[in-house]
Amino acid sequence: MKFLIAAPLLLGFLTACTGQENLTRGEWSPYSSATADLEKVSQNLKPYQFSTSQRVYLGTETSTLKNQTIYNIPVLNTWIKENKSNQGLHFLSYQIYAYEDLPELPSSFFKNTESYAMSLESIRKLTPQGDKLLDHAPAFMAYKGSLAPVWVINYLKDGIHLRQKIVHAKGFHVLSDEPMGSSFQKSLMRLQATVYPEGPKRSGLEQVQLSNLQSGPFISSRKLRIHSASGKDVPIQNEPLNFDPEDEKFPQVQVYYTLQKANSWFEQNLGWTWAGILEVQTQMGYPENINSAFYYRNRIRLGQGDGVRFKNIPLDPSIVIHESVHAVVDRLTGLPFQGEGGSINEALADFITACQLNTPLMGEVAIPHEENRRSLTPLRKWSDLNGGLYNDSLVISSFLWSLRETLGEEKVLQSLVRTLRDTTPGDNFKSFSEKFIHTTLMELNSEERALFFKTLKQAHWPTDL
């Protein structure tokens, strides 16, 4: 080993019961040398079932992230992440429900049954007027020492705030209700369009080419679908897409252009992009002008902004790209949107956006008041962590930005990609920083390491090094 560490950062294989939730967790890292254990752990997991894999290829490596299933129904808060190279499995992390007897499958989980229809009725009754149901799906959840059948219901509160409710599939009592997501073969066509290539702050209106378009009643490609909540979508025929910026069709074209570019950037600089199709809706909350933008499960929704606190949200490349980074990060890590994992998620979205736009400033176009914008400068310190989602994300993102200044973007992105490969939904600030520091040290020569230590010291990051 070329780097110096006093103690292994992750102690190979470990199990812990997370008390009330009864989930079993373990992580085997490449930083310990317990290869024999890894095979054994892998064997122990054999009796359990997992979802079909979301595999991401990173050079010669493959990374898969799945969740546990029982009768093909997902078990909430579980995961298994495996990274393989041609030498075999070298990273394994999991959190599962280790059952002895299979739980009973309620009849209401079968579509076309009377009890399924009755469940739907109960779910509708739980939804107050003004809230909009998006989807519902059966799941299992560790609850009070056993596995409870539940319904996972995604809905828009008051039509605009994305939330997720989990209700018991038998008693229909609400077990949790939380905000979700992050606020803020046809022939393919190329069409001329008018957009602001770098956003309206940094560029004027120009003619560009939109590629890979599919003909149809709205803008779409194999990676993107753009709709407006106003119902006025942009049909794709053989006509150029030249609209006035005041036209409500303009933002849809601008969003497509921004995300088409972002998608190529992700592929070139990270080595992977979001899974499948990203669905984008502009004019969220129409006819009102809503101050909100969020990502959840391959969907981005963008309000227009009230013109006071926010304006022209879809024209702001930093907001649109930020939301799409969530889709990219989600695919590889499954990081949550709340808590410490949520702050890490936000930090990644801001940092990767900042790299792409080559500016530490977020929200330049959409947020008129400078004091309301986020900036990845100056460097925040570890002691600034206070539990605030965006405050804490800035501690991480400003550190990465500062490191980009000293080590260069390519190095930092390379370390970050390798770290994300080993990041799971269960990571917190401590474990994430340990993984990042470790991975980065492996990538650097001695001169670069000295610079890295300097930044770590400036930011007061805890290191056992």
Stretch that binds Zn ion, among 116-124, 340-348, 375-383, 424-432 (CB under 5 A): 340-348
348 binds Zn ion (CB under 5 A): no
CB 400 within 8 A of CB 347: yes
Q: Closer to Zn ion by CB, 184 or 256: give it.
A: 184
Count of residues of this chain found to bind Zn ion when the rule CB under 5 A is applied: 4
Q: How far is the CB of 298 from Zn ion (least distance, A)?
A: 15
136, β-bridge pairs: 153
CA angle 314, 250, 268 (to 5 degrees): 60
Q: Closer to Zn ion by CB, 64 or 183: give it.
A: 183
How far apart are the C-alpha atoms of 131 and 129, rounded to whole Å?
5
Q: Closer to Zn ion by CB, 320 or 407: give it.
A: 320
349 binds Zn ion (CB under 5 A): yes
In the window 185-204, what residues touch Zn ion (CB under 5 A)?
none
Stretch that binds Zn ion, among 66-74, 114-122, 183-191, 279-287 (CB under 5 A): 183-191
- Secondary structure (3-state) at 401: helix
Stretch that binds Zn ion, among 33-41, 66-74, 346-354, 457-465 (CB under 5 A): 346-354
Q: How far is the CB of 390 from Zn ion (least distance, A)?
A: 9
CB 312 within 8 A of CB 180: no
- Secondary structure (3-state) at 402: helix
Q: Give long-range contacts, CB 8 A cutoff, 24+ apart: 452-456.
A: 452/403, 452/406, 452/407, 454/406, 455/399, 455/402, 455/403, 455/406
Q: Closer to Zn ion by CB, 38 or 348: give it.
A: 348
Q: How far is the CB of 174 from Zn ion (least distance, A)?
A: 26
Amino acid at position 30, single letter: P
Q: How far is the CB of 140 from Zn ion (least distance, A)?
A: 29
Q: Closer to Zn ion by CB, 91 or 295: give it.
A: 295
Q: How far is the CB of 400 from Zn ion (least distance, A)?
A: 15
Stretch that binds Zn ion, among 63-71, 273-281, 349-357, 391-399 (CB under 5 A): 349-357
How far apart are the C-alpha atoms of 136 and 142, rounded to whole Å?
19
182 binds Zn ion (CB under 5 A): yes
CB 113 within 8 A of CB 107: yes
Stretch that binds Zn ion, among 138-146, 167-175, 178-186, 242-250 (CB under 5 A): 178-186
Q: What share of the chain is helix, strand, coil (3-state, %, to 5)?
A: 35, 25, 40
Q: Closer to Zn ion by CB, 81 or 374: give it.
A: 374
In the window 267-326, what residues touch Zn ion (CB under 5 A)?
none
Q: Closer to Zn ion by CB, 296 or 452: give it.
A: 296
How far apart are the C-alpha atoms of 392 and 389, rounded to whole Å?
6
329 binds Zn ion (CB under 5 A): no
Q: How far is the CB of 295 from Zn ion (least distance, A)?
A: 7
Q: Closer to Zn ion by CB, 233 or 346: give it.
A: 346
Q: Where are the beta strands (DSSP E) in 100-223?
A: 132-143, 146-157, 161-168, 174-179, 182-183, 188-195, 206-214, 219-220
Q: Closer to Zn ion by CB, 330 or 346: give it.
A: 346
- Secondary structure (3-state) at 448: helix
Q: How far is the CB of 346 from Zn ion (least distance, A)?
A: 5
Q: Closer to Zn ion by CB, 184 or 401: give it.
A: 184
Phi-psi region for residue 305, left (φ > 0), alpha (ψ -120 to 50) or beta? left
How far apart are the C-alpha atoms of 438 and 465, rounded to whole Å?
10
Q: How far is the CB of 325 from Zn ion (least distance, A)?
A: 8
Stretch that binds Zn ion, among 74-82, 134-142, 343-351, 385-393 (CB under 5 A): 343-351
The secondary structure of 96-134 as a DSSP string is: E---SSPPP--GGGSTTSHHHHHHHHHHHHHS-TT-EEE
Q: How far is the CB of 229 from Zn ion (least distance, A)?
A: 20
How far apart are the C-alpha atoms of 68 and 78, rounded to whole Å?
6
Where on the chain is the footprint of Zn ion (CB under 5 A)? 182, 184, 346, 349
